[in-house]
Amino acid sequence: MIEAMRRFLLLALISGIVFPVMSNAEGTWIRISVIDFSNMSSGSLGRESCDKDDVCGMATYVDASSIAKSGSFVYFNKKVVLINRNGDRIKKGPISGVGWQANCSKKLLKGPKGSWRSFDRYNGLGQFVCR
């Protein structure tokens, strides 16, 4: 009985080394802000998009598990997605964002290909990641 248990444990150990468990972690995405097209004036592009195609806004998400601070700088993943009139994401499935930076002391944000911009342009994003 002990010999069988040893073989089982050895086999489990070897299989764990040879076939490691794959992780499919998606991050911890938090909705930071929403821009609602349905409140726009009649005839505007946003309002037409909502009325005709049920694309009624945009939501900004941050992966809380990606936030890394170094001095006055913060690095994080961000994604903007389209939402319907109920506030649900139109494209289902996992969210995948891109790397952004914040300079908390100067209150500036920068996307992967952009230039530094004021926190004011991003509806609470800078304040959230710099907490």
Range of the domain at 51: 26-129
Residues of the chain with pLDDT > 90: what percent?
60
Indicate the residue type of 106. Answer: K
d(CA 51, CA 41): 12
Residue 50, Cβ density class (10 Å: 0-12 exposed, 13-18 middle, ≥19 buried)? buried
Asked whether residue 15 is domain-assigned, the answer is no
Evaluate whether residue 118 is within a structural domain: yes
- The mean predicted confidence, pLDDT, of the chain is 84
Task: Note whether residue 2 is domain-resident.
Answer: no
**Distance, CA of 66 to CA of 56 (rounded, Å):** 28
At residue 23's C-alpha, the angle toward residues 22 and 28, to 5°, is: 175
- Tens digit of pLDDT for each residue in 12-27? 445 444 444 333 456 7
Domain count, the chain: 1
pTM: 0.73
Residue 16 included in any domain: no
Per-residue pLDDT tens digits for 72-109? 999 999 999 999 999 999 988 888 888 999 999 999 99
6 occurs within a structural domain: no
Is 103 within 8 Å of 72 (Cβ atoms)?
A: yes
Residue 92, in any domain of the structure:
yes
